[in-house]
Chain A
Amino acid sequence: MKIGWFSFTCSEDSTILWIELMNDNFFKWKELLDIRHARVLKRNNTLKDIDVAFVEGAITTDRDAKKLMEIRKNAKKLVAVGSCAINGMPSAQRNLFDEKLKKEIAFLLVRFNQADKVRSIKEIVTVDDEVPGCPMDEGAFFRTLDKYLQEFGVTNAH
């Protein structure tokens, strides 16, 4: 199964947990998964022809929103991973700032081309599945991975 692992604005906790899960699953996943895009693990990445894209983080810029749409276009299935991707929080905490704090950070939003509002993944693209948690729940991740391994005709891994 061809997968991509993508990260937007967040603490990358689910990415770290995914790599921790490799402690016991690396060689199995090496056989079952073709990791086509994972910046955290490799330099030579491709967006082409991805079966399942796992996306972590919230969307804070229009540029990232475009990147997310590009990922969606190239992936048959898209899974939002972790709290920031699913509901925006805590990366979206600035959406809840009072007027005084909003004024305080306004110049930084302009300087770094940040969108007025931080958005979750499903506010921008269609999401097929969600793996909740901060970081993601391990059991929910394995269940989702198994589901797609079966769907794409790969032997059940767990």
Chain B
Amino acid sequence: MHIDEYSEGSGGPAHMDGIMHLDKLSKIEGHGSLDIKIKDGKVKYVKLKITENKRFFTQAVLGKSAMALPAMTSRICGTCSIAHLSCCSEAVEHAVGFEPTDQTIMLRKLSLYGMTIRDHALHLYMFCLPDLFGKDSILDFDKSQDEMVRRAFAIKSAGNNLSKAIAGRAVHATFAQVGSFSNIPSEEQVAAVVKELKSVRNYAIEFIELFYDCEFKLERDTNFVSLVPKDYAFLGGEVVDSKGISIPKEEYWDFLNRIIIPYSQASGYNFEGEEFMVGALARMNLNRANLNSRTKADASKFMNVFPSKNIFHNNLAQAIEILHAIDHSVELLESNEFKEEPKTPVPIKAGEGVGMLEAPRGTLYYMLSINGSGRVQYGNIVVPTQQNQICMEKSVLELVEANLDKGKKNIELAIERLIRAYDPCMSCASHFLKINMEGL
């Protein structure tokens, strides 16, 4: 990646030894920092520190009622709380041997779609869009760009309202629970949501084109990993990687190596002993054949870049996933009737269970062990940003090494833009970004 397109000025020579400290990276979810040491014109190290202060959820879940657990662990993260809620519910269900109804699974998919539209829109339109126009913030767009900004918020609103209709709230949803949903959307609610989703569909295609035309590039040879559900619904399917591995979710942990990163408040992970990447780019590389047929029809001309190893195509993949989430949600909502179902009690018994799904930022894994009193004995949670952490660090090193002559300010902006492309969530991984750069 070359960064000489920046217009803010060089920020001075970049050939002095020392530490570069990038403090409080902006426009991402959470807090983090980056230390970069440069000596004799070479990058000695890059340390990506997740500085979101630990809240010790893994310890706090111990002894808690498994049935109440999803509402608690959803508090790990505001923006992807529905992912935690759904994944934790699935882990509890598997632990006690409970099969939710097809309608519950469908409502879970729809609530995940609502979250994905809203969360991808937050990342793409609020955090990344200003980069495409050389602005600091969406607050800085001028009057001539008002309509584009209005359309961005309209898409985000449609996702927000889909989540509200299905799950009660977009953040820390109230209807989703272990085994079922406590509320079924009314016909009027479904009709209103379908109308709103349809009204923003063309806007979503316009934004796909915008991110397709974006020339930001940093290519990495890395392994991509994701669940590959047959309907691309973020739920279900086996875990697949770029090298051809296909495993059931119950075996996922066996393929992970936890890496203690002493300077970061979150552990990193390798998959099969090597760095890897999860998220929209991984999903698009591995599962685009299963996108909704309407999405494929209208987005095919933007999909010729996949499979891609350009990290910035994670943004394009997210833009396409917004369209897919709209199309598949409309299909599910229009072709099904939602009815009150008899409540089948979820049994309280001992067992171990795995929950796994595709959160907006990638694969989310829960493993829970529950005792005979329905209390949690052990919990293990692996979030997407932890899985991408090593890949992110190496990408930054490559970026800085290739651009040492571009000046500190330009390098800082480029690092932020690159890390933003990974769409890290530091609340989940433990918040985001300060950068210390020694040598500049």
Contacts and interface: CB of A to CB of B under 8 A. Distances in A.
Interface of A: 7-17, 19-20, 22-24, 26-27, 30, 35, 39-45, 60-61, 64, 90-91, 93-94, 97, 101, 104-105, 108, 111-112, 114, 134-135
B76 A20 contact: no
Contacts of A26: 149, 153
B157 A24 contact: yes
Given A39-B24, A41-B126, A9 B55 contact: yes
Interface residues of B, number: 48
Q: Give me the 6 closest cross-chain CB pairs, A-B, nearest first.
A: A13-B78, A42-B137, A23-B157, A43-B26, A16-B78, A60-B53
Interface in B140-163: 140, 146, 149-150, 153-154, 156-157, 160
12 contacts: A11-B75, A13-B79, A13-B172, A15-B78, A16-B170, A24-B153, A39-B24, A40-B126, A41-B139, A43-B27, A43-B137, A94-B55
A94 B78 contact: no
Nearest to B28: A40
Nearest to B119: A16
Given A16-B79, A40-B26, A94 B157 contact: no
A33 to B, nearest CB: 9
B170 A20 contact: yes
A91 B29 CA distance: 17
A13 B26 contact: no
Nearest to B157: A23
A144 B24 CA distance: 28
Residue among B52, B62, B81, B149 with the highest chain A CB neighbour number at 10 A: B52
A22 to B, nearest CB: 7
Nearest to B60: A93
B299 interface: no
A23 B30 contact: no
A94 B265 contact: no
A104 B136 contact: no
Nearest to A14: B78
B416 interface: yes
A94 B56 CA distance: 7
A17 B153 contact: no
B127 to A, nearest CB: 8
A81 B38 CA distance: 41
Contacts of A10: 78, 427
B13 to A, nearest CB: 22
B262 A16 contact: no
A93 B138 CA distance: 36
B196 to A, nearest CB: 11
B424 to A, nearest CB: 13
B160 A20 contact: yes
A1 to B, nearest CB: 15
Contacts of B160: 20, 23
A30 B57 CA distance: 37
Contact of A20 (B72, B171, B265, B431): B171
Given A16-B122, A114-B54, A23 B59 contact: no
A27 B146 contact: yes
Q: Which residue, B52, B75, B138, B160, has most C-beta atoms of chain A within 10 A? A: B75
Given A12-B427, A35-B139, A61 B27 contact: no
B22 to A, nearest CB: 11
B77 interface: yes
B37 interface: no
A58 to B, nearest CB: 9
Given A13-B172, A26-B153, A41-B27, A90 B78 contact: no
Contacts of A35: 139
A23 B156 contact: yes
B172 A135 contact: yes
B283 interface: no
Contacts of B172: 13, 134-135
Contacts of B375: none
A12 B302 CA distance: 33
A36 B416 CA distance: 20
B153 A23 contact: yes
Contacts of B313: none
A93 B56 contact: yes
